[in-house]
Structure 1
Amino acid sequence: MLTVIIPVYRNADAALRLARTLISQSLPDGHSLEIIAVDDGSGDNTAERLTQAQIPLLRVITLSENRGRAAVRNLGAKVALGEILAFIDCDCLPQSHDLLARHVAMLSQGCVASCGPTSGREKGFWGRYQEAASRRRQKQYENGVPYAGTTANLAVLASAFFSVGGFDEGYRHYGFEDRDILIRLSRIGEVVWCAEATMQHLDLLTIKSVLVKMQRAAGPSAEKFSGDHADAYRALGFSALDTRLHPWLKALGYVTAPLVRKAGLLDRVLDQRWVPYSVAAASVKTLSALAFLQGTMVTNQECSLGKQR
């Protein structure tokens, strides 16, 4: 059996859409499907809507309080019946009817985990930007970096998942919990990249939403990851932007803070024909780096660009 685990927080529509799509996935002979949606203390009618939908194969688990992505995924894994666990974010959809089968095929060849690319829904700048990000991740895998994937599109042997202790629930805030578990999985077996198993990310991106995530990831999660995996943190390039490690960078953070706060104005021009994609992408990458740098200067999770779970 294969169990798909979907973390949900105040997004019943997306979770229902994903669950309905998953039940039409084709699986290899001898494999059945189970879907578990874990409501991470939404505090609204999310769990009720998921239950009332009565989608075949879907089980709904509800937490009374918000515990974060790592804890939610662990809870889903603990009650799962599958020998294979697939983790998919609720704002994503498989791009093919055999995405799960492709992950199963990879796992049947002896690896412990299979990651796949993620594409965007937009056809303009943000679509190209997300596809470029996936290509960079694939290249990292090809260059021997097994922790380049994300838990938006991950399948893992349940035995391997529990062998490494599941997700580290110390990653209570946004970011780095996926890289952490992939590093630990790579120590007990092979983590592979399944280029044919593409997941589509349905959220519409804006420059502000991207920069908020970068600032949030730079907080406690990045600090924990840098302590747990200093070499990986350095190899990924985050160490060079961390003011906790390089206090002199704070001056750059203060000087560029107004630029990051006003970055939302870029959304008006990113898709304009007169703006070369290379220039737009370089601008977003630079602003993302500055947002991360500034996030390392914030001592709490109220980042300067706004709130985000």
Structure 2
Amino acid sequence: MISILIPTYNYNITRLVAELHRQALDTYVDFEIIVIEDGSTPFLEENKTVNNFEFCRHIILSENIGRSAVRNKLADEAKYEHLLFLDCDAEVCSEHFVEKYISFCKEKCVVIGGTAYEPNENNPQFSLRLAYGRQREARNATERDRNNFSTFNFLISKSIFDTVRFDENIHGYGHEDMVFGHQIHLLGYDYIQIENPIIHKGLDDNDTFLIKTREATLNLYKLYKTGRYPFLTEESKLLHSFVRICKLGLTRLFAYSFDQLQSVLEHKLCSSSPSLRLYDLYKLLFLCKTSIEK
């Protein structure tokens, strides 16, 4: 009936698996839970206990194969027609989480459950990640962007997945989900948006989040320059703005502005109340800087 698939890297997965296993048993449907350790070693011994749960498997990869490849491998390992992909740094916050997804397992579909954040989490070390998550990710089903596909928490029919699959040519951090989501739309499928979020627990501190932001922005630029993904300029607001700046001949000015403003912007973005408008500007200036250097 349903295969619950969790790629794992440097995270203790035992609590999440235990809750998913309990809920899946209560549905009285056929299920399996597969965890793939993508070349990580912290929490390895703890995560091996996943094998003690009935219908659960913990697979260890000796090397990290990347975000796209590990999800494709999970799908290859799955034996049921519906695949529920979850990120490892999640916490189930509803007693009916699995049950809600089971109700869609009678049809060919792509279902997105959503993301939530702890309402009482206000540690200033995570202020930027929390601001971004709460304002851009933790949206009701009716408010979510049609083009904003997230791998954090979604159900997909195996027959659809096998037609699309994650693009393993995409290396580095970020935007493999955007490409995957676009391919789903090309097949003629829309996402079914439902209220079935899980809590994002593995928060990056401000400095780490900015590092990942630069990595993801660099990856976006690399994808754009390959010419294989022409739709990115329409589906990425960041890339759309960048192309307009290039046409106006302002790229070098924006790149120079990044050099001059980087430390000031990062100081403000790491404050207790960061502005996402400044965050968007930071990414745009960095993208211009990247294009000049490359």
Which category describes the TM-score, using the shorter chain as reference length? 0.7 to 0.9
Match of 1:276 in 2: none
**In the TM superposition, what is the alpha-carbon distance from 1:46 to its structure 2 partner?**
4.3
Tell me, in whole angstroms, the C-alpha distance in 2 between the residues paired with 1:116 and 1:153: 6
Letter in 1 for 2:256: Y
What does residue 270 of structure 1 align with? Answer: 272
Which residue identity does 1:121 align to in structure 2?
E
Work out the CA distance in 1 between the residues paired with 2:31 and 2:21: 8
Match of 1:286 in 2: 281
What secondary structure sits across from 1:85 in the alignment? strand
* Aligned 8 A contact 1:111 1:191 in 2: no
Matching residue of 1:6: 6
What's the offset of the Cα at 1:162?
0.6
Opposite residue 86 of structure 2, the aligned amino acid is I
**Greater helix content:** 2
> Structure 1, unaligned stretches of length 5 or more?
272-278, 300-309
Go from structure 1 to structure 2 and tell me whether the alpha carbon gap of 1:127 and 1:211 turns closer, same or farther (over 3 Å shift).
closer
CA 1:92–1:179 in structure 2 vs 1: closer, same or farther (change >3 Å)?
Answer: same
In the TM superposition, what is the alpha-carbon distance from 1:2 to its structure 2 partner? 1.1
- C-alpha contact (below 8 Å) 1:176/1:222 kept by paired residues: no
Identity level (%): 23
Separation in 1, partners of 2:284, 2:251: 12
Structure 1 residues 295, 8: closer, same or farther in 2, change over 3 A?
A: farther
RMSD of aligned Cα (Å):
3.1
> What TM-score results when the alignment is normalised by the length of structure 1?
0.78
Q: CA deviation at 1:215?
A: 1.2
1:131 correspondence with 2:134: yes
Matching of residue 185 in structure 1 with residue 184 in structure 2: yes
Give the letter for the 1:112 counterpart.
Answer: C
Give the secondary structure class of the aligned counterpart of 1:219. helix
Cα 1:205–1:47 shift into 2, 3 Å: closer
Task: Establish whether residue 255 from structure 1 lines up as the match of residue 257 from structure 2.
Answer: yes
Where in structure 2 are the equivalents of 1:103-252 lying within 5 Å? 103-106=101-104, 108=106, 110-121=107-118, 123=120, 124=122, 127=130, 129-134=132-137, 135=139, 139=143, 141=145, 145=146, 147-164=147-164, 166-224=165-223, 227-242=227-242, 246=246, 248-252=250-254
Q: 1:35 to 1:298 in 2, by over 3 A?
A: farther
| Cα distance between partner residues in 2 of 1:297 and 1:92 | 38
Give the alignment partner of residue 68 of structure 2, picking from 67, 70, 78: 70
Offset, 1:150: 0.6
**Cα distance in 1 for residues equivalent to 2:232 and 2:192:** 18
Q: 1:38 deviation in Å?
A: 1.0
CA–CA separation in structure 1 for the residues paired with 2:228 and 2:170: 11
Per the TM alignment, residue 213 of structure 1 is displaced from its structure 2 partner at its CA by 2.0
**185-194 or 261-270: bigger deviation:** 261-270
Contact kept? 1:176, 1:225, Cα under 8 Å:
no
Deviates more, 1:206-215 or 1:282-291: 282-291
CA deviation after TM superposition for structure 1 residue 29, in Å = 5.3
| Rounded Cα–Cα distance in structure 1 between residues aligned with 2:293 and 2:3 | 38
